[in-house]
Chain A
Amino acid sequence: MIELEQYQDAEAIQRVLHTASTIAVVGLSSNELRASHFVGFYLKRHGYRVIPVNPRETDVLGTESYRSLLDIDVPVDIVNVFRAPDALPAIARDAVAIGAGALWCQFGVINEEGARIAADGGVTVIMDRCLKVEHARYLGRMHWFGFNTQRITSVRTGLQ
């Protein structure tokens, strides 16, 4: 039984969000109604460079889609995974190979071997969490929709 809490640490999530600028989205769909498209669209809107990784697509969100993480020729800060859980070990190996900062696995993308490969390779692992939700929780406007951000702070921040 995988202990997911170790891959859901709030401070680790914030560090990843605060430092990333380039995000490779594995399994990004061009279908506007798919969850991966919602997330990719949102991240691009919030200033991240979003690189689609999906051999079934040629172009998503105005950017060329790569067949594999290994084909990307720029540094990748986050590998964001929208794939079946059993695809994760291979993706984790590629994430280690390209020196990605973090492997971020969406809701339900849970695979212990994949997590271990990435962690052993020095990649921060976030698992069973949505990148869009966590961005919206700490940096965005999730609270405008009455969602429970679980944040308690009296610090005044800049505009959102």
Chain B
Amino acid sequence: MTEPSNRRTEEARAFGFETRQLHAGQRPDPNTGARAVPIFQTTSYVFEDPESAAAYFNLQEYGNTYSRIMNPTVAVFEERMANLEGGCGAVAFASGISAQAAALFTLLQPGDHVVSSSALYGGTVNQFKHMLRKMSVELTWVDPDDADAWREAVRPNTKALFGETIGNPAGNVLDIETVASIAHDHDLPLIVDNTFATPYLCRPIEWGADIVIHSATKFIGGHGTSIGGVVVESGTFNWSNGRFPVIADPSPAYHGLQFHETFGTYGYLMKLRAETLRDLGAALAPFNAFLFLQGLETLSLRMERHVDNARAVAAFLESHEVASNVTYSGLPDSRYRPLVQKYLPRGAGAVFSFDCAGGRAGGQELIRGVTLWSHLANVGDAKSLIIHPASTTHRQLSDAELQAAGVGPGTVRLSVGTESVEDLIWDLEQGLARVK
């Protein structure tokens, strides 16, 4: 029997995406040899001795202390996401919305300001509009397609620019490289929600984004089983540029530690984990991390099929007399075609909306009529999903906000799944036949 060795030199190789979606973040368990990722269903971890415990709590050593802050199963998911997005690391959260809150809280203080795209998921609009205001953080909404609007909205107290790779539900495509350069001109980070694209279709960090967030609930998990989120950071943003004392200065929440000076590349993520996750408490459950890892193993395969089906369904709707304003940016005549070719060459995702004739009543009649598409408030499931935003996900928004988010009274949002595409079109056809 040969002794297992830690001292075998590994060749540096640029492995492909499909290899990394299966392997990144995981090595066979050194204790048992388990090939699948073990589910470490434990709240806490036994320390070797008092010195080790102190070193872990002081962040002098990478050590497990408590599953609110880190967990070995969750860590595999975090590293795999960081690897696929091309970041230096990641921190997972119990939901996409808590990941987003944590990403912002780590760099914000009362009196700060954020510039955000106005074409966002309704839940994000709620969080920004109400939660950030409660924290005394100001917000400016901008038309994401207008570079001058981004530039002009920046103020001396601005701390971040925020947008979605593919806007929900209007399907706008963010010009990541342009907005990132505007952010960097002002020593600011660009935060991108990459939920709708996934790292298979677009990797915002490669275009200059500094922080990428995901609702892993969607295509990452891919099977509608678990709620979760993740924050990935590039590791290249200079948090010691003078604009971010909250990260660069000695932290009163961690006995005077200067996170960026001490941990350099890893400073933001260390603070995100050791302070923000510790104090907000929205930890991802190990079992949910396991299910996300199962999802990631087939991410590229599913996304290829999602995109193929989305293209076919969008083309069908475009030719249907009851449907109009099909916002799929993957359509050949989309105004976003140049941006899709640049940022989303493998496809523009699988979530889009269209306007049903007959306004609110028309949209509701279509939803009553379909029998294969599931009427529910989620996207990114392998199963096809349908919803009427004006009466559900975007219900809390005013008419003006609805319009800014690209939602009309008859707008219906689809998340195109991986079923036989002829069955998806058949079902929409029978639903649309009820719309007058």
Which A residues lie at the B interface, using CB under 8 A?
A: 9-11, 14-15, 18, 32-35, 38, 41-42, 45, 107-108, 130, 133, 136, 138-160
A14 touches B262 (CB 8 A): no
- Tell whether A144 pairs with B88 under 8 Å between CB atoms, given A133-B266, A152-B19, A152-B20: no
| Chain A interface SS verdict (over half) | loop
> Which 6 A-B pairs have CB atoms at the shortest separation, nearest pair first?
A146-B78, A10-B12, A147-B89, A148-B82, A141-B62, A158-B4
Chain B interface size band reads: 35 or more
| Interface flag for B75 (CB, 8 Å) | yes
B79 touches A153 (CB 8 A): no
Which B residues lie at the A interface, using CB under 8 A?
A: 3-13, 15, 19-20, 23-25, 27-31, 33, 55, 58-64, 70, 72, 74-76, 78-79, 82-83, 87-92, 250, 255-258, 261-266, 269-270, 273
- Tell whether A153 pairs with B10 under 8 Å between CB atoms, given A133-B266, A148-B89: yes
A158 touches B3 (CB 8 A): yes
**Residue contacts A-B, CB under 8 angstroms, 29 given:** A10-B11, A11-B9, A33-B255, A33-B256, A35-B261, A35-B263, A130-B264, A133-B266, A141-B61, A141-B62, A141-B63, A145-B62, A146-B70, A146-B78, A146-B79, A146-B82, A146-B89, A147-B88, A147-B89, A147-B269, A148-B24, A149-B79, A152-B15, A152-B19, A154-B23, A156-B28, A159-B31, A160-B6, A160-B30
- Specify which of B25, B63, B269 lies most central, judged by the most chain A CB atoms within 10 Å of its CB: B25
- Tell whether A156 pairs with B33 under 8 Å between CB atoms, given A10-B12, A147-B89: yes
Partner of B92 from the list A14, A143, A146, A151 (CB cut-off 8 Å) is: A146
Partner of B265 from the list A38, A41, A107, A152 (CB cut-off 8 Å) is: A107
- Tell whether A144 pairs with B87 under 8 Å between CB atoms, given A14-B10, A18-B7, A157-B27: no
CA A10 – CA B9 in complex, angstroms? 9
Partner of B264 from the list A33, A34, A35 (CB cut-off 8 Å) is: A35
